[in-house]
Amino acid sequence: MEITTQPTDLTEQINSWKEEVNEVREDVKMMRERLEQIALSSAPREVMTNVEHFENRLLRQREVADEMFHDLKQCAKKLSAQSPTVIHDDRPVCDYDTMSNRMEVFQKLFMELKADFNHFMDSEL
C-alpha cells in the first residue's frame, strides 16, 4: 500500500523524538548529580557498589541518547534534501520503522532504568 506523507509531518515526528531524547539527557544528568551526592557521603560499601552500578548504567544511557540524537539529526537532514512530497510503501523515508522501533526500545529501557534508579534512591533515603 502506497502512502503519501508530507515531509513536514515526518520532520515534526523527528523533532518530537529529538525533544524526548533531550529530556532523557536532562533526566540522566539529574540522576548522576543525585548519585554524586551519595558517592560523596560516607555510605556503606554495598550502597557504593550500587552507586557504581547506576553510574555505569547512566553513562551508557547517555551514550545511547547521544547516538539516537545524532541519528535523528541525520534523518532530518536527509529528509530536508527530499522533494516536497515523499511517497513510500507503508513507511516514511530514513527507514522510519527502524527509527520508530529504536525510539520505542529507547523509551522502554529508559523507563526501566528510571524505575530501578528511583527504587534504589527510595531505599537509600
Per-residue pLDDT, averaged over 7-36, amounts to 92
pLDDT of residue 6: 54
Domain count, the chain: 1
Q: Which has the higher per-residue pLDDT, 16 or 7?
A: 16
Got the DSSP string for 47-81?
HHHHHHHHHHHHHHHHHHHHHHHHHHHHHHHHHHT
pLDDT at 3 over 80: no
- Cβ neighbours for 72, distance < 8 A, ≥ 6 positions apart: 14, 17, 18, 21, 99
DSSP class of residue 83?
Answer: -
pLDDT of residue 37: 93
Sign of the alpha-carbon dihedral angle for 98, 101, 103, 106: negative
Domain housing 17? 2-124
Tell me, rounded to whole angstroms, the distance of Cα 18 from its chain centroid: 8
Question: Residue 89's pLDDT band (boundaries 50, 70, 90)?
Answer: very low
Q: Which has the higher per-residue pLDDT, 76 or 106?
A: 106
Whether the model pTM is above 0.85: no
Per-residue pLDDT, averaged over 77-81, amounts to 79
pLDDT at 125 over 80: no
